[in-house]
Amino acid sequence: MSKKILLSGVKPTGRPHIGNYFGAMKQFADLQNDYECYFMIADYHALNHIQNANDMKENIFGVALDYLAIGLDPEKVTIFKQSDVSAHTELAWMFDSITTMPYLMRAHAFKDAEAKNKEISVGTFNYPMLMAADILLYDTDVVPVGQDQKQHIEITRDTAEKFNHTFGADVFKLPNPLIVEGVATVPGIDGQKMSKSYNNTIPLFATDEEIEKQVMSIVTDSSGGRPENVYAIHKLFRAEAELASLYEEKKGKYKDLKEALIEDIKAFIAPLRARREALAADPSAVERILVDGAARANIRASAKLADAKRAIGVL
């Protein structure tokens, strides 16, 4: 029996953090042997924020290194750039045409931007349509993501159903999100959701100095013996059964607990950082992986795009 299909993506918008890792990227590595996997660098999605060619190039190379450094094996999985597979933007146009504005105006990301009175780009508004295309082109069964992407997967399912229904053809398969309980929303050093845009992250490939600085800045309240924001991050790195005795012994000693957390994070990140540095020394090897990935992704995506074109009557 052939394997089920898994697809996910990360935008090249800056350094990944431990929230991205535990919430999504760790699952990519853990599941790579069980599924036929596609891992995308969502560069066209990033274009809403990154509007400088050098930054874009650097960030794309960065996500490729991140993927390889966390252990994705390019011999087994397909790693590719969204912009290398033009079927994504073509299919997104078809979805734009069958989706109404009021429907997309219900998306959280749009509502948040509106609430902040931000001027949002058409690309940001249509973001879920491109994401639906990313997923549906590959007959994807599962999409490992953090909780914040749940609505995007729901929109993807709605869009697949709408297309199939409108054109009376069974072209797209409905995907399921894979959101792991306990790490669905990793908190940042201020206790809010960890996010590149909130300045509250611990970078996944942080230096020792950055780890020390960020952990020492974790916001603690003095109400109980256990600093909850420290504990919430600590349990990502050590089993709760082990933490119970440590937090009992060091009750109320926030500085000692932060120092213990620093040691655990350093031990976890050091080998990842070393691997990433080694990979960065050979950019042409990374380039070859992306060229090869694009070729593989294109085969699958172009076949599905042709099905969609036939369904709408342009082919």
Question: Which residues of this protein are in contact with ligand TRP, per CB under 6 A?
Answer: 7-9, 11, 42, 45, 131, 134-135, 143, 145, 149, 152
148 three-state secondary structure = helix
Residues contacting 219, CB < 8 A, separation 6+: 189, 190, 191, 229
C-beta closer to ligand TRP: residue 175 or 227: 175
Minimum CB separation of residue 161 from ligand TRP in Å reads 18
Question: Which of these ranges, 95-103, 179-187, 232-240, 247-255, lies near ligand ADP under the rule CB under 6 A?
Answer: 179-187
Among 5, 6, 7, 19, binds ligand ADP (CB under 6 A): 19
As a whole number of angstroms, the distance between CA 93 and CA 104 comes to 14
Q: Which does 300 bind (CB under 5 to 8 A by kind): ligand ADP, ligand TRP, none?
A: none
Q: In what order do the strands lie in the sheet with 5-10?
A: 78-81, 36-41, 5-10, 142-144, 176-178
The helix (H) or strand (E) run that includes residue 7 is: strand 5-10
Instruction: Kindly state the tokens that stand for 224.
Output: 């109980």
Beta bridge partners of 39: 8, 79
Q: Is 135 in the site for ligand ADP (CB under 6 A)?
A: no
* Alpha helices for 168-253 (secondary structure H): 208-216, 228-237, 240-249
Minimum CB separation of residue 144 from ligand TRP in Å reads 8
Minimum CB separation of residue 281 from ligand TRP in Å reads 28
As a whole number of angstroms, the distance between CA 130 and CA 182 comes to 29
Q: Is 137 in the site for ligand ADP (CB under 6 A)?
A: no
Residue 294: how many CB atoms within 10 A of its CB? 19
Q: Is 218 in the site for ligand ADP (CB under 6 A)?
A: no
CA dihedral 110→305→307→173, nearest 10 degrees, is -50
C-beta closer to ligand TRP: residue 99 or 149: 149
C-beta closer to ligand ADP: residue 107 or 311: 107
Q: Which residue is nearest to ligand TRP (CB)?
A: 9
Tell me the CA end-to-end span of the chain in Å, nearest whole number: 32
Please, which of residues 59-98 interact with ligand ADP by CB under 6 A? Answer: none
Q: Which does 83 bind (CB under 5 to 8 A by kind): ligand TRP, ligand ADP, none?
A: none
Site residues (vs ligand ADP, CB under 6 A): 10-11, 13, 19-20, 23-24, 145-146, 148-149, 183, 185-186, 193-196
